Amino acid sequence: MNNTVILPRGGFFLSNDTNKLSIFALGGVNEIGKNMYAIQYADDIVIIDCGSKFPDETLLGIDLIIPDITYLLENRDKVRGILITHGHEDHIGGLPYILRQFPMPIYATRLTLGLIEGKLKEAKLLGGTERILIHSESEVQLGSIKATFFKTNHSIPDCLGIVFHTPEGVVVHTGDFKFDLTPVNEQYADLHKMAEIGKAGVLALLSESTNAERPGFTPSERVVGEYIVEEFHKARQKVFISTFASNVHRLQQIIDAAHVTNRKLALLGRSMVNVVTIASELGYLNIPEGMIIEPAEVNRFDSSRVALLCTGSQGEPMAALSRLARGNFRHIEIHPGDTVIFSATPIPGNERNVAQTVDDLYRLGAKVIYGSGSVTGMHVSGHASQEELKLMLSLMKPQYFIPIHGEFRMLHQHRLLAEAVGVEPGHTFILNIGEVVEIRKGIARQAGKVPAGNTHVDGLGIGDVGNIVLRDRKHLSQDGILIVVTILSKSEGKIVSGPDMISRGFVYIRESEGLLDEANRLVTDVINKLQTENINQWSTIKSHVKEVLGRFLYEKTGRRPMILPVIMEI
């Protein structure tokens, strides 16, 4: 036995000495949203997910953020395709933008593909995109990498975890998951398959960290259904209920509650209609015949026989529930005594909008059920809490661990959980986007970077709004702009017209005539003085005007508007 060679796990014999396995994220680590990961072996790159995220309040005017795919564009010939774990925006929202730059084949399950196809159709990209339908038992060969799959529980049906069989060993990507042992619609997770994968040996695990700060075990989705039915029973008038349109399990439970309480159901809000249509066409929603009615029909029924399923659970100002709360929705009004249920917990950053909507609803006299789902019972998370994360780690028993989907503190807490269940210290990699973990002969190390970053979508522009434009927007938003237009005569060396002052977002001109008159005199003096001294480079004149005017205005108003001297010469 002394001569036995201990082989590194993961298939040393298949490995080519010069080849290596690389794992990196183009989005989704040290951030929430915009998920995009890559597994590369030799000349084969496989992508997982292509999400978007919303900008924070510092990125003024930006509509959406998607991953920077420079690395993929530079390695076009190596990219074998993109596997999608599930149909949430933070996993599919980037597709219409990325595919326009770089068409590649998409692999996804039925519901996920249905939702993606809706997006691609809108973006006029459906025809040009190769789409491959997969399911949990599929095997996909992508160059030297083979992908197999396992079912997981999450707040949308048809979710997959992915197993990558590479010459270097097995890499598992969980996608989003929880362990829901009493799932809605029989969407059971492949618990036994996960156990087998772990038993056969996992070289590296990428597991999601959204709830890594949360102790315990996330409650089953089914629990929410019981609370909903109870409120539907209690209500004597209309029931409005709002949740994430994509939470198809929740939609099913709301449909069921309407059914057992003998209510018709109206769908309010574009994305709600959209998801219910796709999900029911594909068989993921079971809707009793004749239950769904049009908004215009609502008033034909007794108020105790109607429920309304609305968008707007996050208080989004233009969503159905917010418009209803403001009394601004065609055909439908909320009356005193109606019940309104928020079947969602406000996401940090959305509290103010939700609170505003609740205030408006109370003003209308409604009974409102709102606040954290853990208090109201009206919402549970779709993500694994600490005990479930430990369960996944214990099933997979990975040699190396890469926590994904989360900001640093979540990845950090996930590392602590991993170490608590036996992942060796030093075997966890907390990555920034672009940072590469390289595995060769069973040994992992962090090695180099690929280009990665945020690409801003603004209107039709993808990536054309950079730091200079954003810095200007920031400046303009705080103190506005003061434009100073002057015409100089080249021949005579003096001011022919102006200086004229135009203020936007700084002061209201009619109320600030004194201030601007004084500013005008200052600018005139500066320019005249420079002309007398024969200093007539525009750049010098401009910088003098900026300096003198900036100092004067700050002294008088405590503000620093952008000052834009425009000098024309004739």
Rounded CA-CA distance 289/77 in Å is 50
Determine how β-strand 494-504 pairs with β-strand 21-27.
unpaired
In angstroms, what is the C-alpha Rg of the chain? 29
Residues 351-370, interacting with a second copy (CB under 8 A): 351-352, 355, 358-359, 362-363, 368
Among 16, 394, 478, 532, binds a second copy (CB under 8 A): 478
Say if residue 247 carries a ligand binding annotation: yes
Burial class (CB in 10 A: 0-12, 13-18, 19+), 531: middle
Say if residue 90 carries a ligand binding annotation: yes
Among 304, 459, 532, 547, binds a second copy (CB under 8 A): 459
Say if residue 379 carries a ligand binding annotation: yes
Nearest residue (CB) to a second copy, 371 versus 451: 371
Query: 278-307: b or e for each residue (b if 16 or more CB lie within 10 Å)?
Result: bbbebebbebeeeebbebeebeeeebeebb
My answer on whether omega of the bond before 215 falls inside 30° of 0, hence cis, is no
Encoded amino acid at 191, one letter? L
Query: 10-48: b or e for each residue (b if 16 or more CB lie within 10 Å)?
Result: bbeeebeeebbbbbbbbbbbbbbbbbbbbbbbbebbbbb
Told to check if 468 binds a second copy by CB under 8 A, we report yes
- Provide, rounded to whole angstroms, the least separation between the CB of residue 333 and a second copy: 19
- SS percent in the chain: helix, strand, coil, step 5: 35, 25, 40
Candidate ranges 106-114, 160-168, 447-455, 500-508; the one touching a second copy (CB under 8 A): 500-508
Total binding residues toward a second copy, as defined by CB under 8 A:
67
Instruction: Tell me the three state secondary structure of residue 354.
Output: helix
Told to check if 421 binds a second copy by CB under 8 A, we report no
Query: Which residue from 37, 24, 29, 33 is spatially nearest to 409, judged by alpha carbons?
Result: 29
Residues 369-388, interacting with a second copy (CB under 8 A): 371
Among 141, 262, 446, 497, binds a second copy (CB under 8 A): 497
Told to check if 492 binds a second copy by CB under 8 A, we report no
Nearest residue (CB) to a second copy, 62 versus 266: 62
- Provide, rounded to whole angstroms, the least separation between the CB of residue 569 and a second copy: 8
Residues 192-251, interacting with a second copy (CB under 8 A): 213
- Provide, rounded to whole angstroms, the least separation between the CB of residue 100 and a second copy: 14
Told to check if 485 binds a second copy by CB under 8 A, we report yes
- Provide, rounded to whole angstroms, the least separation between the CB of residue 382 and a second copy: 20
Say if residue 233 carries a ligand binding annotation: no
Told to check if 552 binds a second copy by CB under 8 A, we report no
Nearest residue (CB) to a second copy, 464 versus 547: 464
| Mask for 323-352, x = binds a second copy (CB under 8 A) | -------------------------xx-xx
Query: Which residue from 296, 300, 297, 295 is spatially nearest to 311, judged by alpha carbons?
Result: 295
Instruction: Tell me the three state secondary structure of residue 114.
Output: helix
Residues 6+ apart with CB under 8 A from 490: 569, 570
Candidate ranges 113-121, 186-194, 377-385, 464-472; the one touching a second copy (CB under 8 A): 464-472
- Which sign, positive or negative, has the C-alpha torsion 358, 362, 364, 367? positive
Told to check if 28 binds a second copy by CB under 8 A, we report no
CA angle 94, 97, 100 (to 5 degrees): 135
Told to check if 487 binds a second copy by CB under 8 A, we report yes
Among 322, 479, 519, 545, binds a second copy (CB under 8 A): 479
Told to check if 70 binds a second copy by CB under 8 A, we report no
Instruction: Tell me the three state secondary structure of residue 237.
Output: coil
CA angle 52, 55, 58 (to 5 degrees): 160
Residues 285-314, interacting with a second copy (CB under 8 A): none
Told to check if 543 binds a second copy by CB under 8 A, we report no
End-to-end CA distance of the chain, in Å?
95
Nearest residue (CB) to a second copy, 297 versus 359: 359
Active site residues: 208, 383
Among 110, 473, 542, 546, binds a second copy (CB under 8 A): 473
CB 171 within 8 A of CB 144: no
Say if residue 201 carries a ligand binding annotation: no
Rounded CA-CA distance 417/428 in Å is 11
Residue positions in the annotated binding site? 61, 63, 86, 88, 90-91, 154, 176, 245-247, 379-383, 405, 458
Which residues contact a second copy (rule: CB under 8 A)?
30, 56-57, 60-61, 213, 348-349, 351-352, 355, 358-359, 362-363, 368, 371, 407-409, 412, 458-461, 464-466, 468-470, 472-481, 483, 485, 487, 496-498, 500, 502, 504-508, 511-512, 554, 556-559, 562, 564, 566, 568-570
